[in-house]
Chain A
Amino acid sequence: MENILAFIYEYKEPIFIIILSIFLGIEVISHVPAVLHTPLMSGANAIHGVVIIGAIIVMGHAESTLPMILGFIAVILGTLNVVGGFVVTDRMLEMFKKKKK
């Protein structure tokens, strides 16, 4: 029990961020028109590509071969998520714009 309490105490800042971000995420999305569901999902998909930072950190401190290989793959996968996600979202939204004039 003390273990858990100490953990919460030690990580109080990230826990704050998590709680506030949850409410923020709900607030930001709640009034979106159905037309935008797909681009929004795709855009959010690109944003969670931020996981690539973790991949870069792991790769940056990898010393033996296996972590190097796994890290290399992780960075590639993360980049695919980020770049592909943003580009495909932009492509979708580009079309919305063109027809609006």
Chain B
Amino acid sequence: MKTFNDSHLEVKKFFSGPFETHPYEVGWADEAIFFVMVEKVEGDPVMKAHVQLSQDGVHWADDDTPEAVITGLGQHIIKVNPNFGNYIRIRVDISGGQMFLNIHIACKG
């Protein structure tokens, strides 16, 4: 049977501007999905998110997952391209307002 795990990265908090999620180790997994739940908005915010990979959890580079553009309330999905190694995160930039977010990472492998 495969292992599955979902972990929170951010919970019930307003965000605007740039930030990155906590370095997360997924070496055991074959697939990874970031779930971005927008619970509230203030203004007319637009989120742009890029998946990043790291060899050591300290130095980061964008992978080739397409940029995600997220607007509106509700659940949004960022499916990470396969062959992601061990450490992953998303770098995010929110412009035009604030988003009240829950960000999770779900992995299986």
Q: Does chain A bind chain B?
A: no
